C-alpha cells in the first residue's frame, strides 16, 4: 500500500505535470495568435490532461480558469477581450477580476458567432507550476483585488466549514462534493481551544469563507502565518500566503495530496493531521500535542 502511494505520487509529480504544462503552453500560444488578429474568441475552460473538476468548485475556479486567464492577459493590451459562457456561482467574480476584458455570453446568444477554443486549466496536480509561477499569480491577484501593503504574517486562520447558500448546496449535492460532504462536528469546541494556544505575536481568527468577499479572503490569507483547515477547496487560499507559511490539513484521506503539493510549490510546509470520517470529531488535546511536535509550529505556540 505504501509503495503504491509513493508510486502514485511519483507519477503525478514527475510525469503528468510536465506533459500538462506542455499542453498549456501550446493552448495559450494558439489563443494568443487569435487574439493578435483582433478576434474575441469564445473560450471553453477544460481541465488539464488526466484531471477533472468543475468551475463551480473554488479550487478549480482559481487554477483552471483564473490562473490561465491571468497568464493569457499578461502580455496583451487592455483592448483585447475573450468571451465565456456562464459557469455558475463564480461567474461574477471573473468580471470583478478582469472587468470588460471578459465578456459573459448567455447560453442562448448565437447572434455573434465566434471561434471557440479550449482554455486548458492549470490545476497544479496536473500541470507543472514553479514557485515563481505561483508567486507571480499571488502578486497579480493581490494587485487586482487592491490588497496593498504586506505586514509580516501574524494571523492564525482556522477555516470553519459551513453549508453554503441553498442554491449552491443543491449544486454541491448534485456533484457530491463540497460543504455538504465534509465538516468538523465539534468545530466550536476546537475553535475555543485553539484560540488560546498561540503566543502574543499571533492573532487567532476563525473564518467562514462563505461570508467573506473574494477580496477579504485574499487579504485574510495574505496576512496568515498559519492556516488550519479540513481538506477542501477553502485550502486553495493558501496560494495567497507569503512563502514560509505553515498549513495544517485535517483529513481522513492523507493520500489525497492536492494541498500538500500546492503548499510545497508555494513555499509553505504542510502537515496532515488524520481524522476519522468526513464529519469528524477532532480531539483537541491530541491535535495540540501533535502540533507541539511539528517543528515549524513551535515558534507560534505558547
The structural domains of the chain, ordered by start, are 2-129 (no CATH), 155-300 (3.40.50)
Model confidence, pTM: 0.89
101-119 per-position pLDDT tens digit: 999 998 766 666 678 999 9
Q: What are the phi and psi torsion angles at 179 (to 5°)?
A: -60, -25
Residue 171 CB: number of other CB atoms within 10 A? Answer: 18
What does DSSP assign to residue 113?
-
Residue 302 CB: number of other CB atoms within 10 A? Answer: 9
249-260 per-position pLDDT tens digit: 999 988 888 999
* Cβ neighbours for 146, distance < 8 A, ≥ 6 positions apart: 215
Beta carbons of 282 and 191 less than 8 angstroms apart: no
Nearest to 35 by CA among 70, 72, 85, 84: 72
**Is residue 179 predicted with pLDDT exceeding 50?**
no
**Is residue 58 predicted with pLDDT exceeding 60?**
yes
Amino acid at each position: 500500500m505504501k509503495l503504491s502511494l509513493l508510486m502514485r505520487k511519483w507519477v503525478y509529480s514527475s510525469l503528468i505535470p510536465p506533459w500538462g504544462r506542455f499542453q498549456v503552453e501550446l493552448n495559450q500560444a494558439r489563443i494568443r495568435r487569435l487574439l493578435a488578429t483582433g478576434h474575441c474568441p469564445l473560450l471553453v475552460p477544460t481541465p488539464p490532461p488526466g484531471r477533472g473538476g468543475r468551475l463551480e468548485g473554488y479550487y478549480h475556479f482559481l487554477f483552471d480558469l483564473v490562473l490561465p486567464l491571468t497568464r493569457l492577459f499578461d502580455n496583451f493590451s487592455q483592448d483585447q477581450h475573450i468571451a465565456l459562457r456562464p459557469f455558475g456561482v463564480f461567474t461574477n467574480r471573473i468580471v470583478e477580476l478582469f472587468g470588460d476584458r471578459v465578456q459573459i455570453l448567455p447560453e442562448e446568444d448565437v447572434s455573434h458567432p465566434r471561434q471557440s477554443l479550449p482554455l486548458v486549466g492549470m490545476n497544479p496536480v496536473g500541470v507543472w507550476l514553479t514557485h515563481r509561477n505561483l508567486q507571480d499569480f499571488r502578486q497579480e491577484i493581490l494587485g487586482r483585488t487592491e490588497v496593498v501593503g504586506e505586514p509580516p504574517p501574524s494571523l492564525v486562520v482556522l477555516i470553519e466549514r459551513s453549508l453554503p447558500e441553498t442554491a449552491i448546496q443543491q449544486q454541491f449535492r448534485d456533484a457530491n462534493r463540497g460543504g455538504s460532504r465534509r465538516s468538523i462536528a465539534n468545530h466550536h469546541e476546537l475553535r475555543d481551544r485553539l484560540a488560546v494556544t498561540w503566543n502574543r505575536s499571533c492573532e487567532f481568527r476563525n473564518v467562514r469563507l462563505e461570508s467573506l468577499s473574494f477580496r477579504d479572503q485574499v487579504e485574510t490569507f495574505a496576512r496568515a502565518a498559519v492556516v488550519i483547515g479540513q481538506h477542501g477547496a477553502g485550502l486553495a487560499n493558501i496560494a495567497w500566503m507569503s512563502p514560509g507559511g505553515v498549513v495544517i490539513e485535517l483529513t481522513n484521506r492523507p493520500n489525497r495530496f492536492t494541498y500538500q503539493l500546492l503548499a510545497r510549490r508555494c513555499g509553505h510546509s504542510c502537515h496532515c493531521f488524520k481524522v476519522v470520517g468526513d464529519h469528524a470529531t477532532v480531539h483537541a488535546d491530541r491535535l495540540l500535542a501533535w502540533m507541539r511536535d511539528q517543528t515549524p509550529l513551535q515558534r507560534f505556540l505558547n
